[in-house]
Amino acid sequence: MTNSAQYGLPNNSGDARRDYPAFLDGRVRPMLIGGEWVPSLSGKSFESRNPANGELLATIAEGDSADIDRAVLAARKAFDGPWRTMKPDERQMILLRLADLVERHFDELSLLDTLDMGAPLRHTRGSKRHMVGLLRYFASMAVSLYGQTSSTSLGGELFACTLKEPVGVVGAIVPWNGPLMAAIWKTGPVLATGCTLVLKPAEDASLTPLRFGELLLEAGVPPGVVNIVPGFGATAGAALAAHTGVDKVSFTGSHLTGQQIVRASAGNLKRLSLELGGKSPNIVFADADLEVAASAAATAAFANAGQICSAGTRLFIQRPVFDEVVEAVARAARGLKVGAGLDEQTDIGPLVSRKQLDRVSGYLRAGREEGARALAGGERLDGDAHRNGFFVPPTVFTDIRDDMRIAQEEIFGPVVAAIPFDTLDEVVERANATPYGLGAGVWTRDVGRAHALAPRIRAGSVWVNCYNTMDPSMPFGGYKMSGYGRESGTQQLDDYLNVKALWIRRD
């Protein structure tokens, strides 16, 4: 079993610089373009700091529109070059080698995730099976792409079939709440389908994607097939979204930025996949296993400090068991340890940045001002153990009205609004009464009720007696303002392929 001592880190969150991975060697981390590690053309850079204590981790080359332009040119050159004719089994072998490398270096990758964006080691380490599995799933898909023949009504002298072809150069803009996961989700389908990629990591968490880039080269990804340009959304991200040399953009982030990307894509009508925000309902019926449901509800709301797009942040509890369940969730919240991610005992790490701390703190204040009552948490933590980081305790609000901001808007912090309900029809209406539709949970022993309820909830994923369960074979994405397109599953691969109709006259 991996533990922090492997890197010389004691179990109480010691984090002396000498104990960090060799990747954090003090050099300015360059960007990956055309198979080479290069500085930004402007010479600019930005800092990456540990959100638990403010310590400088690394300085990173800051890409802008000029760097995006040369990365897109490199991706186009690679797409039009030998990569275009590489056989499916050759792409499969690259993905399998990459999976092996990620598995071998996962301790380091998970540690970088923890240092850079704050999630506890137990969280970042726990996703190993899923992330390696994603790469191996994409490897299997590389040799499973096929078109169809068609029996047309035009007679036997015409043969008709469809071909699936890579869409071309893909621009991917990813968030900071799961840096390695985001990099894998965007890179896997590119390699499987034969596209090429320009990846723009989040400025708040670029270290793991850059280390992942080193593993891509080690796995044998040809020059220019994957390019990684760190930078800020307003410069590098905007340039990538609008670039006419990009055939598709895959974006994960807020719905406001998603709307900007839709507008920017109009220049060449590029294809889009948008995995956006959520305000997911988690519904507990009186007949559920209440102990299991309450424990899972706490995890659904507070995991990764609530910085999960599908977090179960609206907890609907049937009225006869409301007090019992909400107190159990509050008790669980009060028992979670908030601290530095390197501490093996930490349950909830810091928020990623000062900006995010201010945002979440603003929602805590708004909840109180609108009349909500905090059964747990409710105020940022700034005692001696938390003063230099961005810490908010798990918070459970009650006395909620559906029109409150904390019941309608995505907070992206460890905050849950607990709401009583009476009937199935009522909870369906209230669960759907937000602009979002990413995920939903249902807790009941009544299988018939679960089957009746699931189709009526407008969300891309509905989990019954579980929450946030994922597998590489199952699609993940949203309805409404939660976006369109899917991650994982065969549905994701379809978003990276064009379908061509081929007609051949026999005589």
Strands 436-437 and 479-480: antiparallel
Alpha helices (H) in 243-318, listed in sequence order: 255-264, 290-302
Q: How many CB atoms lie within 10 A of CB 162?
A: 13
Residue 21 CB contacts under 8 Å (≥ 6 apart), including other chains? 7, 108, 111, 112
DSSP annotation string for 184-227: HHHHHHHHHHT-EEEEE--TTS-HHHHHHHHHHHHTTPPTTTEE
- Of the candidates 62, 203, 275, 487, the residue annotated as catalytic is 275
Strands 169-173 and 158-166: unpaired
φ and ψ of 497, to 5 deg = -125, 140
Could you give the C-alpha distances from 305 to 23, 102, 165, 341, 352, in angstroms and in order? 26, 25, 40, 11, 9
CA atoms within 13 A of residue 107's CA, in its CB half-sphere: 13
What b-and-e string marks burial along 424-460, b requiring 16 or more CB atoms within 10 Å of the CB? beebbebbbebebbbbbbbbbeeeeebeebeeebbbb
Q: Is 344 a catalytic residue?
A: no
- Of the candidates 108, 309, 410, 487, the residue annotated as catalytic is 309
Q: Is 161 a catalytic residue?
A: no
Nearest CA to 440 out of 456, 419, 422, 424 is that of 456
Q: How many CB atoms lie within 10 A of CB 365?
A: 13
The residues that bridge with 166 in the sheet, in sequence order, are 497
- CA 20, 21, 26, 32 torsion-angle sign: negative
**Position 435, amino acid:** P
Residue 76 CB contacts under 8 Å (≥ 6 apart), including other chains? 168, 169, 196, 245
**Position 327, amino acid:** E
Q: How many CB atoms lie within 10 A of CB 21?
A: 16
Cβ-contact 245, 72 below 8 angstroms: yes
**Which residue, chain included where needed, has tokens 């030998």?**
82
Q: Which residues are catalytic?
A: 275, 309
